[in-house]
Amino acid sequence: MSTDNTTFPPGATETTTTDVLIVGAGPVGLFAAFQAGVLGLKCELIDVLDRAGGQCTELYPEKPIYDIPAVPGCLAQDLVDRLLEQCAPFAFPMHFSQRAESVSEVLPAHGKGHSRLLVTTDTNKRFDVAAVLVCAGVGAFAPQRVSLPEAPALEDRHVHYAVRDVSRFAGKRVIVAGGGDSALDWALALRKVAARVTLLHRREGFRAADGTVAAMHAAVAAGEMDFVIGMLGALKTAGDGNDAALTEIEVRSRDGVQTLPADELVALYGLVSEPGPIAQWDMDMRAGRILVDTTTYESSRRGIFAAGDIAYYHNKQKLILSGFHEAALALRKAYHYAFPEKSLVHVHTSNNAALKEKLTHA
């Protein structure tokens, strides 16, 4: 499966034409991609995060899951890896770090043919599609931000919520704040390029894998990095406006206030989910979720379907297996929008020679 993290300069656009756009590359979006391939639909996926997996990867990668049919037990991340493997033969493009922002209907020229949908992302990428399958889960994940008033002005310059380019931190005094796997992993990785890394966490205990915590303590004992217990109190800067540079971080703890010299702050406090722009897509919603017709999983807006946690109907169960079923049925209806002149003939993967070849020789 090809991936890209393209970000376009403001105002620039690129339009991709395909059959179906899948919004959200969580477990349901990934299975939907496989189903699209089986049905002969072309599709592309987008996710606001920089990787696939949704809640499984972001919230509980090492938790076992026992209720996936024919998988007696596997870790959540293993399930995501298997789903990626399953849809890989179709090589559908996945676009990460792209949030679906708006959708508009494109009427057919001269009133002939069928209308299509145009989805725009926050990086001005556009998708011209016959149908949209929204698998956006609990909404768009966003980093939990530093709540200090001075933080927004420093964002992306000296205050970071992700590490996209390690070399950016070379020779810098870096504070990594947080107590989860990401914070510890990045503190350990950045210590190899930074002038000094300090891990800042509000307590002694961590929400990270035992091996990672042990590696961090070993690195501290070896003098390769520092660990400070406390809460961010204030960010001190030098310079004005857009030139303001971070110089120190004030840390508050039970022992009082201390200042740490700092050029960069990487705050990895985890993710929060936001309803995001899909809530404004003019569909009937219930409690922030998309109301669907359970025969097709189509929303109240023609051509826009929903599957997985974002879909709402009576007795909906927020389980991965429910999302798989919903996506499979949604794509069958989407097929008619992509190929209105064709009828969808039900085939099993095993008796479609071309499909069998693709799936067995991937």
Element (H, E) at 103: strand 100-106
Query: Does 48 participate in binding ligand FAD (rule CB under 6 A)?
Result: yes
Cβ atoms of residues 290 and 136 within 8 Å: no
Query: Does 135 participate in binding ligand FAD (rule CB under 6 A)?
Result: yes
Distance CA 298, CA 290 (A): 9
The number of angstroms, rounded, from the C-alpha of 246 to the middle of its chain's C-alpha atoms is 29
Query: Does 325 participate in binding ligand FAD (rule CB under 6 A)?
Result: no
Distance CA 289, CA 240 (A): 43
Query: Does 46 participate in binding ligand FAD (rule CB under 6 A)?
Result: yes
Q: Between 85 and 114, how does the x/- string for binding to ligand FAD read (CB under 6 A)?
A: --------------xx--------------
Near ligand FAD by CB under 6 A: residue from 6, 60, 207, 238: 60
Half-sphere exposure (Cβ direction) of 38: Cα atoms closer than 13 Å: 20
Query: Does 54 participate in binding ligand FAD (rule CB under 6 A)?
Result: yes
Q: Regarding beta strands 173-177 and 74-75, do their DSSP bridges make them parallel or antiparallel, or are they unpaired?
A: unpaired
Query: Does 26 participate in binding ligand FAD (rule CB under 6 A)?
Result: yes
Shortest spacing between CB 316 and ligand FAD, in angstroms: 10
Look up residue 351 and give its amino acid. Answer: N
Q: Among residues 12, 45, 2, 274, which one has the least CA distance to residue 123?
A: 12
Shortest spacing between CB 55 and ligand FAD, in angstroms: 4
Near ligand FAD by CB under 6 A: residue from 20, 21, 22, 23: 23
Query: Does 276 participate in binding ligand FAD (rule CB under 6 A)?
Result: yes
Residue 51 CA: distances (Å) to CA of 5, 128, 148, 198, 269: 10, 23, 28, 26, 18
Number of residues that bind ligand FAD (CB under 6 A): 38
Judged by the rule CB under 6 A, the positions of this chain that interact with ligand FAD are 23-29, 46-49, 54-56, 59-60, 63, 65, 67, 99-100, 135-141, 276-278, 308-309, 318-321, 323
